[in-house]
Amino acid sequence: MNRAELKFRKQMSTIDPEHLPDPWLIDSAYLLKELSRIRELTLAIPLTLETSLPQNSVIDALWRLEEQLRYLLRLHAAGQSAFAQRAQKDEPELQPAKVEILRIRA
């Protein structure tokens, strides 16, 4: 894990879960592609003395937003995986018990 990822995890750990967006409300693949496209458009702007600082700020903001989205997707995937593992573990308990029928002779 590099320094940037450690810093990002520290920032994300200070956010309450109630303030995180619902992953079901986002089309994540579209958002990641759009962030990448916007970053590429920003990089295509001719670099001048006046535009270099704002351009770098936009590129940094886009990168941070993309990393946050990737983190939320990993968090969501981990939650889904844990849920599936618990469901598989509890599955035998949910099946009806095998019933033995005893014949009574009169």
The model's pLDDT over 32-56, given as tens digits with 9 standing for 90+, comes to 888 888 889 888 888 888 888 989 9
* pTM of full prediction above 0.75: no
Helix axes 52-94, 3-13, angle to 10 degrees: 70
The whole-angstrom separation of Cα 3 and Cα 100 is 62
The model's pLDDT over 47-101, given as tens digits with 9 standing for 90+, comes to 888 888 989 999 999 999 889 888 888 888 888 888 888 877 776 665 566 767 6
Q: Note whether 100 and 77 are within 8 A (CB).
A: no
The whole-angstrom separation of Cα 17 and Cα 96 is 37
